[in-house]
Chain A
Amino acid sequence: DAKTTQPPSMDCAEGRAANLPCNHSTISGNEYVYWYRQIHSQGPQYIIHGLKNNETNEMASLIITEDRKSSTLILPHATLRDTAVYYCIVRGDTGTASKLTFGTGTRLQVTL
């Protein structure tokens, strides 16, 4: 699976949009981009995933560049409960479907 690069930390004011970038310049054509977050002392929570089209669900939006070398997770109206570590993961069909390679993620701090 391709390697990802994320900033170690970001701040966001409550009510504003949080835009979390991820670089995955070596991504292959059949690899998906996944986003998970981990709130302190809990397990990782699935947020969203996509292949090449932009995706939106009730939690967030995922914007993938046309060359697929980077993506941005958007939390449209961040709240204090969105404070967490956000992981960007590239996942391909390696034959081990459950293997996700986590990096160190981005620690998002939402403030009043």
Chain B
Amino acid sequence: ETGVTQSPTHLIKTRGQQVTLRCSSQSGHNTVSWYQQALGQGPQFIFQYYREEENGRGNFPPRFSGLQFPNYSSELNVNALELDDSALYLCASSSPRTGWSSPLHFGNGTRLTVT
């Protein structure tokens, strides 16, 4: 069983640029979510995708957007990067087919540095 994989592992961007992060969900998982983890803090929920549509969002501005593809993989796009966007971005997948309480499984994240 393949776990959640994310790419790239590290990325450096300049303020004002745009970035795309990628995630392949765990085999059989049809729901993907994204989290932002600033240094020294717990992860914060950005949004969730199910059936290729966003169906839940945390307290993040519209410049954070995403996509989910028919194979359940996903992208996180961040426009107009700000210095505070520097963080570890985590992707998680789950299979609500087994109920809403099924555990989320996380990838190891993409470390984004904005200079």
A residues bordering B, Cβ < 8 Å? Answer: 32, 34, 36, 41-46, 49, 87, 91, 93, 95-105
Q: Give the A-B contact count at a CB cut-off of 8 A.
A: 65
Cβ contacts under 8 Å, B107 to chain A: 43
Cβ contacts under 8 Å, A36 to chain B: 106
Cβ contacts under 8 Å, B105 to chain A: 46
B residues bordering A, Cβ < 8 Å? Answer: 4, 31-33, 41-45, 48, 55-56, 58, 90, 92, 94, 96, 100-109
Given known A96-B48, A97-B48, A98-B56, contact A105–B42 (CB-CB < 8 A): yes
The residue that B56 contacts in the complex, of A41, A42, A49, A96, with Cβ under 8 A, is A96
Given contacts A43-B108, A98-B104, A101-B45, 20 further A-B contacts (CB under 8 A): A34-B103, A36-B106, A42-B108, A42-B109, A43-B90, A43-B107, A43-B109, A44-B43, A44-B106, A46-B106, A87-B42, A95-B56, A97-B56, A97-B100, A98-B56, A98-B92, A99-B33, A100-B45, A102-B44, A104-B42
With CB as the reference atom, state the residue of chain B lying closest to A39.
B108
CB distance from B47 to the nearest CB of A (A): 9
CB distance from A104 to the nearest CB of B (A): 6
Cβ-closest 5 pairs across A and B? A102-B42, A96-B56, A98-B33, A43-B106, A98-B48
CB distance from B20 to the nearest CB of A (A): 19
Docked Cα-Cα span, A34 to B42, in Å, equals 15
Quick check: B104 and A100 within 8 Å, CB to CB?
yes
Cβ contacts under 8 Å, A103 to chain B: 42
CB distance from A96 to the nearest CB of B (A): 3
Max count, chain B CB within 10 A of own CB: residue among A36, A87, A99, A103 = A99
Docked Cα-Cα span, A83 to B4, in Å, equals 22
Docked Cα-Cα span, A92 to B96, in Å, equals 14
CB distance from A41 to the nearest CB of B (A): 8
With CB as the reference atom, state the residue of chain B lying closest to A49.
B103
Cβ contacts under 8 Å, B56 to chain A: 95-99
Cβ contacts under 8 Å, A46 to chain B: 103-106
CB distance from B17 to the nearest CB of A (A): 24
